[in-house]
Amino acid sequence: MSRNPVVAVCGATGAVGQEMLKILEQRDFPHSEIIPMASARSVGKKVAFKGRELKVVELTEDAFAGVDLALFSAGGSTSEKFSPLAAKAGCVVVDNSSAWRMDDNCPLVVPEVNPHDLDWHKGIIANPNCSTIQLMLALKPIHDEARIRRVVVSTYQAVSGTGHKAVEELENQVRRLMSGQPVVADVYPHQIAFNCLPQIDVFMDNGYTKEEMKMVNETIKIMGDPSIRVTATCVRVPVFYGHSESVNIETEEKLTADDVRALLAKAPGVTVVDFPEKKAYPMPIHAAGEDDTYVGRIREDETIPNGINMWVVSDNVRKGAALNTIQIAETLIERDLLRVPA
Amino acid sequence: MSRNPVVAVCGATGAVGQEMLKILEQRDFPHSEIIPMASARSVGKKVAFKGRELKVVELTEDAFAGVDLALFSAGGSTSEKFSPLAAKAGCVVVDNSSAWRMDDNCPLVVPEVNPHDLDWHKGIIANPNCSTIQLMLALKPIHDEARIRRVVVSTYQAVSGTGHKAVEELENQVRRLMSGQPVVADVYPHQIAFNCLPQIDVFMDNGYTKEEMKMVNETIKIMGDPSIRVTATCVRVPVFYGHSESVNIETEEKLTADDVRALLAKAPGVTVVDFPEKKAYPMPIHAAGEDDTYVGRIREDETIPNGINMWVVSDNVRKGAALNTIQIAETLIERDLLRVPA
């Protein structure tokens, strides 16, 4: 492409859409035009971009004529409807919903982990689930070195993963409790303030939640290795920004804790913070607003011959959604793949 | 013992001591006298008991003459100094600190799990760590049925486990953040409000925290089976009351999720709350103030032949400390063991 692309941000008024606009600006993403799109009820709203105000236009069937790249964060059903229409109009879609992730025709990509999967895109590329992305960044270097057999992961997920309304709900509940008033739970099925909620997304027939099964299935697709077994327990905690994960790993080859630290220290997108003597380890309040995924508490698990425990933290709205989407788009441009194959 | 015992509560002004007094009252614990004891700086303070006010007396070397039972929650070093003196004076000690837990001369007891270990006490009985107690209640019926080989546990621990000051710290930090002020961390090394802190207690040379190693070692002693391998990651979360645990279990024999639910449904001290279709599962806000340990999210983990995932929640100050201590004392009385053997 000789000119800069026309870029649509679909779902521009949501939490992830807003973060996308911020990151497009921060990274000086090449564009000839940025078009914020949203559903009819947001039309007329304005969003900030590079000191200007852009008017939100309606996301319609005909909206993608002349658009080269659409960054979608507008929910699954909206994406199911509009992404194929965009692709048909010649616009490459990078979608942040779960709609296309397990579709065999759509690559599921973390640019530091499986950029090569972009080579076979057919117009729609899926952005993985937030809790999967940070896990992949931490697991890939270990898998490449020692083959991962099994992962047991428990998550500590922030409310921002649910969107603006959940951030407000936590804030409101905390204010009410602090002034002795009863709380109202609207976004979540139960109070989230000062509580842990062991349910993220809906339950499946096997007793796992959809969020837990996303971690299982997306890991296999991104790593391109169906032999990796993952079991997950996903829990919402009263944190605004930053997902944390307690990760237990069994590998085929033995790795010491020092080996893992050395591997992760040179991994792209990863920062090792692991200085127990200084009480330094990753925490959501530090990861918030940052691009990297932070790994610490790296220890050998001696209950199995080749075991490692670690603690992985990342900004779920940033690397877990908006940033990864934009990094996929950047990689498409670098590799000259920003076109829908005939 | 033909008369009711004289009972000392050592550390009566602390969070656990206060809860002990409340539970002694609620359970109508047999006593001819209750003597609240504490360090010199608390002498003269008064504590409430059955509508009366009891004066706190100083915990000294000579304080135990004529005392039959001492319930200690006064910290490790205080217990190390005074528990042997109490036992020497003929007073049976049930201690809530970590001082005696791994001592071969002291039983470590969860009454529903290993009451028989009280038979060999020599004057000092140790109360396990809060995060261990609730895990034992959930694991014992499974171990008895199918032999547990390995446990991977990640905790979500409440600030009340650290004491009154930590409860205040979370409250103060939340208030300050809600009014846009910077926070002060005093009790914890970092901000706990809206954060996850992957450190509980101090770090050991192997990279694990003392809290994590307590879960490993205490489990073996309580279950009386050194073949059970436990690996733990302990995390403090911004919750006031109630520890939660994400527990992955590998057994020798196959158990279905239904088998586990049936086993736990009839286990003493355990309530199964596992109705995904009703969004019903254990949560700290429901466990707070309750005696039982709640288990839910029971699922087969198909990454191994005999795997189970579950979610275990209990009031850490109550069953995790004060209640278990008093249940030990009740069991001593029932079994006519409330005397220091010659």
> For B156, which residue in chain A has the nearest alpha carbon?
A196
Overall average pLDDT of the B262-277 stretch: 98
Report the residue of chain A nearest B207, measured CA to CA.
Answer: A299
pTM over 0.80: yes
Query: Does the pLDDT at position B38 exceed 90?
Result: yes
pLDDT of B99? 96
Cross-chain residue pair B299–A198, CB shorter than 8 Å? no
A80/A144 same-domain check = no
Chain B nearest CA to A285, separation (Å) = 6
We report the CATH number of the domain holding residue B271 as: 3.30.360.10
- Per CB-CB distance under 8 Å, the chain B contacts of A196 are 156, 237, 239, 244, 283-284, 313
Question: Do B99 and B16 share a structural domain?
Answer: yes
CB nearest to A195's CB, from B152, B190, B285: B285
Size of interface A-B (CB pairs under 8 A): 159
- Torsion on CA atoms B300, B318, B178, A238, rounded to nearest 10: 0
Report CB contact under 8 Å: B174, A178: yes
Residue type for position A216: V
- pLDDT grade, residue B150 (50/70/90)? very high
pLDDT surpasses 70 at A289: yes
- Chain A: closest CA distance from residue B320 (Å): 18
Concerning whether A243 is annotated as a catalytic residue, the answer is: yes
Which tokens belong to A112?
């530091």
Cα gap B316→B284, rounded to integer Å? 9
Query: Do A230 and A289 share a domain, yes or no?
Result: yes
- Same domain for B141 and B276, yes or no, is yes
Which of A231, A273, A314 to mutate: most B Cβ within 10 Å?
A: A231
Quick one: pLDDT at residue A159?
98
B156 vs A277: CB contact, 8 Å cut-off?
no
Residue A161 annotated as binding site: yes
Ordered DSSP codes for B182-233: PP--SSSSS--TT--B---SPBPTTS-BHHHHHHHHHHHHHHT-TT-EEEEE
Mark whether A330 and A258 lie in a shared domain: no
Residue B296 has pLDDT above 70, yes or no: yes
What phi and psi, each to the nearest 5 degrees, are found at residue B316?
-65, -30
Residue A238 lies in domain: 132-158+196-314
Q: What is the pLDDT of residues B43-102, one digit of tens each?
A: 999 999 999 999 999 999 999 999 999 999 999 999 999 999 999 999 999 999 999 999
- pLDDT at site A292: 98
Which 8-state DSSP code applies to residue A183?
A: P
Nearest CB to B206; choose among A281, A282, A299: A299
Q: How far apart are CA B67 and CA B152, in angstroms?
A: 42
Q: Are residues B105 and B138 in the same domain?
A: no
Report DSSP state, residue B335.
Answer: T
Does the residue B63 lie in any domain?
A: yes
Residues A67 and A92 occupy one common structural domain: yes
B61 within domain boundaries: yes
